[in-house]
Structure 1
């Protein structure tokens, strides 16, 4: 082979190797996002999420930056199931002692049914909350206690105790009712592999800082916690959510009366 042709071949091979090295270097420097993954940006940092796991809420949040100024609007815009069942745990902490509330619940439209379970899984208390009122009873009790939503009844200790239990089962509606002026932080965060919208608020009444985590996939409250003087005083977490039809029997009182939605 003539010297000139040999030089051309060597130059061509060298150029190809150089291009390959440059491409390899470029790919190593650029974060390649897997197919079907989206970025959820926020002032607190960005996370990547599987678009398929986010369901119909994926397109709503894709590329939408969340911060304290818009977090409540973004949460309000999320799609949510109209009927579902769930299980959760709610824990109050008193220094070294803890009080754990185990809940099995169902939601159908504007009605919800809460069952408080013992450690063995037996139903101890039940609460139905609907626009028509608030109904609560203990296992084996025929006539329920009846109240009005938002009511404070100091003269009825039993009903007040049920109200206190229900207050430990917050929902996304409680998040939407937060005072925007008390929001300290907001953004996206991953909790147990679940992409969540996070909002932290100052609670001057309780002297705590409360954090809420809304699952993007369902639009429901996934976790919540309160901190005071650097210690967690309250926490709750959904352990199961199943989108399914809820039978009307879940809204029947022990005396046989049905609690209607309207």
Structure 2
């Protein structure tokens, strides 16, 4: 083989090697890098039992889809943030013994660090309950103020970051993040009262309770919850869709003391 022909063969091999390196650079690096796709918040349909339908899970978002499973749901929930400003109404039903239940109806206003809850509670003789909560987002500490219709006597006490949820009689779904992963028995995308949700079901805890959560993928709010014990629903919660807060003057005590004045913009 002549020198010129050898040079041609060498050049051909060199070109082939460059092409292989280019292909590996284009496809191989993404494979080995371990980058995770962004979470999509789609809106397939879920049945009352919590089973996910086969509807297209990418219908509600513009990102790459990530499956929500018992193994991944804690990571998905950790990405959600509740809105800073909204109004909504919630209904809570609790078992009162036998097959009977009692209902609580609450209107909730949230503006930044401040939350106001007006709760009608027919099971209690004190009537309409008013609660205002301040919560420092950095420290997780705050103060709660409470009084009842027809009585201007206000009581107050310190609360932690669960104070606003407790005032509404709803569970704090972020506690799911603190569970051992094996305690989550079912999870997926679903729908609750027309709202796209992440569904989570836990196993039975040491007190015999099984819990289910429906968390809005639009705003990170809990829109539905159930607590079951020995096959009976002992607490259930439903919510309207959240609207932007527009009403002012909601954070004032009955004696006229203004705790917080919303920005009228």
Per-residue deviation, residues 196-217 of structure 1 (Å, max 9, x unmatched): 1011123525421000001212
Task: Provide the C-alpha distance between the structure 2 equivalents of 1:77 and 1:255, rounded to a whole number of angstroms.
Answer: 41
CA RMSD, 1 decimal: 3.4
Superposition deviation, residue 101 in structure 1: 0.4
More helix, by proportion: 1
Establish whether residue 102 from structure 1 lines up as the match of residue 105 from structure 2: yes
Please, what TM-score do these two structures have when normalized by structure 2? 0.64
Task: Provide the C-alpha distance between the structure 1 equivalents of 2:174 and 2:247, rounded to a whole number of angstroms.
Answer: 20
Q: Which runs of 5+ in 2 are unaligned?
A: 1-40, 136-141
Q: What is the match of residue 230 of structure 1?
A: 231
Task: Provide the C-alpha distance between the structure 2 equivalents of 1:164 and 1:180, rounded to a whole number of angstroms.
Answer: 23
Count of residues paired in the alignment: 204
Superposition deviation, residue 41 in structure 1: 11
Query: Larger relative CO (CA 8 A, sep 6+): 1 or 2?
Result: 1
Say which SS state the counterpart of residue 91 (structure 1) adopts: strand
Say which SS state the counterpart of residue 227 (structure 2) adopts: strand
Q: What is the match of residue 17 of structure 2?
A: none
Task: Provide the C-alpha distance between the structure 2 equivalents of 1:117 and 1:67, rounded to a whole number of angstroms.
Answer: 37
Task: Provide the C-alpha distance between the structure 2 equivalents of 1:69 and 1:135, rounded to a whole number of angstroms.
Answer: 40
Superposition deviation, residue 100 in structure 1: 0.3
Task: Provide the C-alpha distance between the structure 2 equivalents of 1:140 and 1:38, rounded to a whole number of angstroms.
Answer: 46
Please, what TM-score do these two structures have when normalized by structure 1? 0.65
Q: Which runs of 5+ in 1 are unaligned?
A: 1-36, 152-161
Q: What is the match of residue 64 of structure 1?
A: 66
Provide closer, same or farther for how the CA distance between residues 142 and 251 of structure 1 changes in structure 2, counting only shifts above 3 A. Answer: same
Establish whether residue 143 from structure 1 lines up as the match of residue 158 from structure 2: no
Is residue 41–residue 66 contact of structure 1 (8 Å, CA) maintained in 2? Answer: no
Say which SS state the counterpart of residue 77 (structure 2) adopts: helix
Is residue 120–residue 128 contact of structure 2 (8 Å, CA) maintained in 1? Answer: yes
Tell which deviates more after alignment, 211-220 or 110-119. 110-119
Say which SS state the counterpart of residue 242 (structure 2) adopts: strand
Q: What is the match of residue 250 of structure 1?
A: 250
Provide closer, same or farther for how the CA distance between residues 136 and 245 of structure 1 changes in structure 2, counting only shifts above 3 A. Answer: same
1:128 to 126, 132, 139: 132
Is residue 147–residue 153 contact of structure 2 (8 Å, CA) maintained in 1? Answer: yes
